[in-house]
């Protein structure tokens, strides 16, 4: 769905928090259809980015332990 999101699981180095946040932001933009949310939707938009970034970090941590 989001072809411009780069793969964050790499053998040579772990993804940075900035990379994870950028990927989460790109995903939320794609799903919501907003490049930037309205003032009314900003809190929901930012909460979604934070939740997806957190879930992504947990996933990356789990698969790197295998």
Sequence-ordered list of residues with C-beta below 8 angstroms from that of 56, at least 6 positions apart, any chain: 8, 20, 23, 24
Sequence-ordered list of residues with C-beta below 8 angstroms from that of 1, at least 6 positions apart, any chain: 30
Predicted pLDDT of residue 2: 54
**Domain parsing of the chain, residue ranges:** 17-33+40-64
Closest CA to 6 of 48, 51, 56, 66: 56
Looking at the whole model, is its pTM more than 0.95? no
Question: Residue-wise pLDDT tens for the chain (66 aa)?
Answer: 456 667 788 878 889 999 999 999 999 999 999 999 999 999 999 999 999 999 999 999 999 876
Predicted pLDDT of residue 36: 93
């Amino acid at each position: 769905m989001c072809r411009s999101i780069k793969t964050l699981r790499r053998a040579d180095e772990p993804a940075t928090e900035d990379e994870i946040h950028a990927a989460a932001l790109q995903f939320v933009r794609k799903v919501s259809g907003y490049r930037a949310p309205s003032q009314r939707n900003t809190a929901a938009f930012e909460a979604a980015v934070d939740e997806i970034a957190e879930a992504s970090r947990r996933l990356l941590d789990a698969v790197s332990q295998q």
